[in-house]
């Protein structure tokens, strides 16, 4: 007959636990009455293994820290002659010849503000210099650069040929690969190379023609895998850097008619306004890959359903398109910003010169500066109003290059 545990049994269990605790005074575990001596031995073994693993982890961490410190010491330091020497003047302001000198703290604050204005090219304080020492630039892998530049007035035939020759020779010199579309109206390039090679070539391009390229926005993506390097450099002549069928005198001047450029943050806010439409200036197959999806109470997204950019002027002249633009703010976007340049200029030219477009009462024409490429750098999560998921972001730059090649092949056909 089964019976409940007696007080004698309870005392025996207590005594057994007491004996075990004496054997393992150094241990932190408090064993329960259900654990057998064999189970206790297993726990001790696990604790010993955990202790050894923690010791190994600490040794590994110390080793990594030493390696990192060695790498940082190898980084080329800024010339110390550029660092202002610490002043012996007291921290309070001192009047000298009727002019009040600011304290050291204020001087460092002013120096810091100046360095921001100059792009932080030179360390203006000892503190700033120490921060720059900690920055480590990784130059491994492939660097991708995307850029375009319209030239106004357009180059002559001889200037165009000189630009084509320069691009080819200098690109080979700096080890670049990729595609350069060069027209009388400017450059449209998707290039790969080494970290230094790509940046040195961009700097050389600015020196070669500063009037046209000093304000060019070069978009760099570093540390890409070797498989994303283009096999060779192909610089070729075209009538337009984006084929709208508006070459020469038919092209609306961008300086005169170009849309207002909005940085990603401002563009993001504009999409939430309800008196707004967003025109996707890309081809329809690109729009299917991913597009902006504004909030339901915000802007309305429009897809011109274009197979190629030459269809955009035709779509813009359709009566149903004009009704959709009536009384609205017009936002435009594309992959890198280049297609919006001519598209926005075309719409603004029509607003100013064509009566049927002028009477629509369009409130403004805006475009996304740097395109989707720049928007994703500002909003890596898609801004929470985009259909393009975060999973697509690492592939975005490869996608940009691929679309550029596909567009070129379509135009060549």
* Residue 229: pLDDT band with limits 50, 70, 90: very high
Q: Which residues pair with 331 in a beta bridge?
A: 278, 366
* H-state helical runs in 338-395: 338-353, 355-358, 371-378
Burial 144-164 (b: 16+ CB within 10 A, else e): bbbbbbbbeebbeeeebeebb
**What is the 8-class DSSP label of residue 386?**
B
- What does the alpha-carbon distance between residue 276 and residue 331 come to, in Å, rounded to a whole number? 7
pLDDT at 250: 87
Domain membership flag for residue 309 = yes
- What does the alpha-carbon distance between residue 375 and residue 219 come to, in Å, rounded to a whole number? 12
Burial of 348 from C-beta contacts in 10 A (0-12 / 13-18 / 19+): buried
- What does the alpha-carbon distance between residue 390 and residue 381 come to, in Å, rounded to a whole number? 5
pLDDT of 382 over the 60 cut: yes
Q: What is the mean pLDDT of the chain?
A: 74
Instruction: State the virtual CA torsion across 410, 181, 229, 195 in degrees, nearest 10.
Output: -150
Q: What confidence tens digit (pLDDT) does each residue in 148-203 have?
A: 999 999 999 999 999 999 999 999 999 999 999 999 999 999 999 999 999 999 99
Domain membership flag for residue 88 = no
- Which of 188, 166, 168 is closest to 177 using CA atoms? 168
- What does the alpha-carbon distance between residue 150 and residue 246 come to, in Å, rounded to a whole number? 14
Domain membership flag for residue 204 = yes
**Active site members:** 334
Question: Is the separation of the CB atoms in 364 and 260 below 8 Å?
Answer: yes
Domain membership flag for residue 409 = no
- What does the alpha-carbon distance between residue 192 and residue 195 come to, in Å, rounded to a whole number? 9
Domain membership flag for residue 91 = no
Instruction: Give me the mean pLDDT over the 217-224 stretch.
Output: 92
* H-state helical runs in 271-331: 284-289, 312-316, 319-325
Residue 242 region by backbone torsions, left for phi larger than 0, else alpha for psi between -120 and 50, else beta: beta
**Same domain? 263 vs 372:** yes
pLDDT at 117: 31
As given in the structure block, the two tokens for residue 254 are 């961008």
**Same domain? 124 vs 156:** no
Element (H, E) at 77: none
Q: Domain boundary residue among 111, 136, 161?
A: 136
Q: Quickly tell me which residue has 């090649």 as its tokens.
A: 405
* H-state helical runs in 7-36: 7-23
**Same domain? 387 vs 308:** yes
Domain membership flag for residue 280 = yes
Q: Could you tell me the CATH number of the domain that includes residue 182?
A: 3.30.70.100
**Same domain? 153 vs 187:** yes
Sign of the Cα pseudo-torsion (290, 283, 318, 262, in order) = positive
**Same domain? 257 vs 386:** yes
Residue 382 region by backbone torsions, left for phi larger than 0, else alpha for psi between -120 and 50, else beta: left
Domain that residue 195 falls in: 142-237
**Same domain? 273 vs 344:** yes
Domain membership flag for residue 258 = yes
Q: Determine what percent of the chain is predicted with pLDDT higher than 90.
A: 51
First to last CA, the chain: 97
Burial 104-131 (b: 16+ CB within 10 A, else e): beebbeebeeebeeeeeebbbbeebbee
**Same domain? 132 vs 200:** no
Instruction: State the virtual CA torsion across 378, 291, 304, 332 in degrees, nearest 10.
Output: -10
- In this predicted structure, which of 36-40, 99-103, 374-378, 379-383 has the lowest mean pLDDT? 99-103
Q: What confidence tens digit (pLDDT) does each residue in 266-284 have?
A: 999 999 998 999 999 999 9
Instruction: Give me the mean pLDDT over the 75-79 stretch.
Output: 40
Reduced to 3 states, what is the DSSP secondary structure of residue 329? strand
pLDDT of 320 over the 50 cut: yes
- Which of 286, 270, 267 is closest to 374 using CA atoms? 267
- What domain count does the chain have? 3
Report residue 404 CA to chain centroid gap.
18
**Same domain? 294 vs 374:** yes
């Amino acid at each position: 007959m089964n019976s409940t545990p007696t007080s004698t049994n309870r005392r025996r269990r207590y005594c057994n636990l007491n004996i075990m605790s004496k054997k393992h005074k150094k241990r932190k575990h408090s064993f329960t009455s259900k654990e057998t001596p064999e189970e206790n031995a297993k726990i001790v073994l696990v604790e010993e293994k955990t202790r050894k693993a923690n010791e190994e982890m600490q040794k590994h961490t110390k080793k990594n820290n030493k390696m990192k410190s060695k790498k940082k010491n190898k980084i080329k330091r800024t010339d110390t002659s550029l660092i202002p020497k610490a002043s012996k003047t007291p921290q309070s302001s001192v009047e000298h010849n009727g002019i009040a000198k600011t304290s050291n703290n204020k001087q460092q604050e002013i120096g810091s503000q100046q360095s921001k204005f100059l792009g932080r090219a030179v360390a203006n304080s000892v503190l700033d210099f120490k921060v720059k020492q900690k920055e480590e630039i990784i130059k491994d892998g492939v660097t991708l650069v995307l850029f375009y530049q319209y030239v106004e007035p357009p180059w002559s035939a001889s200037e165009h040929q000189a630009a084509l020759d320069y691009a080819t020779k200098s690109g080979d010199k700096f080890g670049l690969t990729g595609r350069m579309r060069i027209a009388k109206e400017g450059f449209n390039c998707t290039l790969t190379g080494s970290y230094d090679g790509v940046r040195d070539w961009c700097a050389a391009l600015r020196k070669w023609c500063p009037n046209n390229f000093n304000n060019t926005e070069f978009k760099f993506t570093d540390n890409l895998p070797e498989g994303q390097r283009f096999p060779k450099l192909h610089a070729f002549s075209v009538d337009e850097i984006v084929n709208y069928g508006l070459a020469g005198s038919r092209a609306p001047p961008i300086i005169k008619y170009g849309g207002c450029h909005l940085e990603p943050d401002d563009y993001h806010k504009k999409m939430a306004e309800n008196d707004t439409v967003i025109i996707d200036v890309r081809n329809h197959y690109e729009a299917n890959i991913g597009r902006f999806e504004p909030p339901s109470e915000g802007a309305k997204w429009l897809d011109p359903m274009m197979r190629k950019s030459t269809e955009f002027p035709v779509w813009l002249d359709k009566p149903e398109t004009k009704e959709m633009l009536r009384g609205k703010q017009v936002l435009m976007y594309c992959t890198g910003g280049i297609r919006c340049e001519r598209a926005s200029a075309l719409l603004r030219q029509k607003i100013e010169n064509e009566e049927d477009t002028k009477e629509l009462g369009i409130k403004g024409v805006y475009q996304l500066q740097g395109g989707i490429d720049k928007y994703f750098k500002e909003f890596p999560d898609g801004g929470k109003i985009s259909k393009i998921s975060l999973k697509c972001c690492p592939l975005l730059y490869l996608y940009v290059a691929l679309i550029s090649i596909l567009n070129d092949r379509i135009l060549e056909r």
